[in-house]
Amino acid sequence: MTRRLRVLSLSTLYPNDQTPNFGVFVERQMQAVAKRGDVDLTLVNPIGLPPFPLSLHQRYRALRDLLAREERGGVTVLRPRFRLLPKIGARFNAGAIVRAVLPLARKLHRQEPFDLVDAQFFHPDGLAAVQIGKALGLPVSIKARGADIQHWGHQPATAAQVREAGQRASGLLAVSKGLVDDMAALGIPREKVTLHRTGLDADLFRPYDRRMCRDQFGLPRDVLVLATVGALIPRKGQRYAIEALPALPEAILLLAGKGEDEAMLRSLAQQLGVAERVRFLGPVPHSELPILLNAADVFVLPSASEGLANAWVEALACGTPVVTTPIPGAQELITDPDWGRLVPRDGPAIAAAVSALLAERPTPERVQEAVAGMSWQANAAALVEHWRRLAGA
């Protein structure tokens, strides 16, 4: 009989009652792991808090009040606090996390030894996990998801830390082959990396009645509806979706998310004369995303970079084709024109791709084929197999 594996996992990105959409894909993965019954999982979610007076900001006051220990969906979540210097202190975060987490890790390891230390992102989690693993004499796994390599792996303050983490870890995971190439380009050994795609809740993300979904958002039943989901930041490129609207008369664009680009995007919509056709929804709870994705004819995400965007997978699972950029992860996922189109970050190009999809009108069942076989159960099984291999268990 296979013995239970003891895993200490670090994830700075993990949902809580204040930020319920923050890293929900990590939570779904870990809940699937916990349900298997063959892993004792302790999830450490370090919470960064800045020094006074920044700590008085409403955002940080809410985080300060989070429970230090909580059971969420069968997963034990521990939340030690570390000192955070917003915007300027990225190079210090890994060390601050080690100082906050290592005493707790030592105590738990003495009580019942762990088999492995896991990190769910490369920065700052990865280097912190490597240092904690060395202190405890344990193997370390790190997962690469996208921006942790494509952004932090190229920032002067953090690039060396990302490379060091990858070189010192026992084994690595990446969500797409393109991300493996990006890691190798940084000097991270390619032979250490195992492909580990995202999961999917197929019971939640599936085709619904489009007319009823539109009714819930107060949308007309007979017009073209586009949707995009993600933080309103330059990398996600929502501006190009707005710039497609002049070539798509009467089309409505739903923007789900919040971020620094919101004022610019609102101004752009006004300048282009399409403001009445752009609806800013703010953050949409993950459980409500299937309704949004089913309300849309086409999902649009003009990202500059992604690993393997969960939003692509969830849209396809709902039977909604995707228009996105020809970045490696998208090229691996969207390999049939019925599933979507890959175009530059350009409004007219996006409009042309949307029009081409509407001319073909693939059925939802045909679009769903793009993500056949994806599930959180399969994701968890592959993750546990990877952990056991590194731990020799």
Q: Give the pLDDT of residue 310.
A: 93
d(CA 111, CA 89): 34
Q: Is the pLDDT of residue 177 over 70?
A: yes
Pairing relationship of beta strands 298-301 and 225-229 according to DSSP bridges? parallel
Q: Report pLDDT for 330.
A: 94
Average pLDDT over residues 208-229: 95
Q: Are 172 and 195 in contact (CB under 8 A)?
A: no
pLDDT level of residue 2 (50, 70, 90 thresholds) = confident
How confident is the model over 41-46, as a mean pLDDT? 97
What phi and psi, each to the nearest 5 degrees, are found at residue 2? -70, 130
What is the residue whose two structure tokens read 């190439």? 181
Residue 174: phi, psi to the nearest 5? -145, 145
10 or 60, which is more confident = 10
What was the pLDDT predicted at 301?
Answer: 97
Give Cβ neighbours of residue 222 (< 8 Å, ≥ 6 apart). none
Over residues 337-346, the mean pLDDT reads 97
Q: What is the SS3 assignment for 227?
A: strand
1 falls in which pLDDT band (50, 70, 90)? low
Q: What is the mean pLDDT of the segment spanning 77-91? A: 92
Average pLDDT, the chain: 95
Q: How confident is the model at residue 86 (pLDDT cuts 50, 70, 90)?
A: confident
Across residues 41-47, what is the average pLDDT?
Answer: 97
Structural domains of the chain sorted by starting position, each given as residue range(s) with its CATH number in brackets? 5-199+375-391 (3.40.50.2000), 210-371 (3.40.50.2000)
CA atoms within 13 A on the CB side of 206: 7
Comparing C-alpha atoms, which of 345, 311, 357, 315 is closest to residue 241?
345
Question: CA triplet 328, 121, 112: central angle to 5 degrees?
Answer: 140
Judge whether 266 and 238 are in contact, CB under 8 Å: no
Average pLDDT over residues 52-56: 76
Paired residues of 39 in beta bridges: 5
Q: Kindly indicate the confidence band of residue 51, based on its pLDDT and cuts at 50, 70 and 90.
A: confident
Q: Strand 322-324 and strand 340-342: pairing?
A: parallel
CA distance 47 to 60: 10
Q: Mean pLDDT, to the nearest integer, of 292-321? A: 96
User: What pLDDT is stored for residue 101 in this prediction?
Assistant: 97
In this prediction, residues 182-201 reach a mean pLDDT of 96
CA atoms within 13 A on the CB side of 161: 23
The percentage of the chain sitting over the pLDDT mark of 90, rounded to a whole number, equals 90
Torsion sign across C-alpha atoms 316, 144, 196, 341: positive
Handedness of CA 111, 113, 119, 123 (dihedral sign): positive
pLDDT digits over 382-392, tens only?
999 999 999 99
The 10s digit of each residue's pLDDT in 253-283 is 999 999 999 999 999 999 999 999 999 999 9
Among 15-19, 236-240, 339-343, 385-389, name the one with the lowest average pLDDT: 15-19
Model confidence pLDDT, tens digit, residues 237-246? 999 999 999 9
Q: How far apart are the first and last CA of the chain?
A: 11
What pLDDT shows up at residue 59? 77
Q: Greatest CA span in the chain, whole angstroms? A: 66
Residue 88 — very low, low, confident or very high, per pLDDT cuts 50/70/90? Answer: confident
Which ranges of 37-157 does DSSP label H, i.e. alpha helix?
Answer: 58-64, 90-111, 125-136, 147-150
56 pLDDT above the threshold of 80? no
Dist. CA 291–CA 295, nearest whole Å: 6
Which amino acid is it at 297? D
Q: How far is CA 353 from CA 143, 323, 346, 361, 366, in A?
A: 33, 7, 11, 12, 18
Residues 150-172 have a mean pLDDT of 96
Encoded amino acid at 236, one letter: K
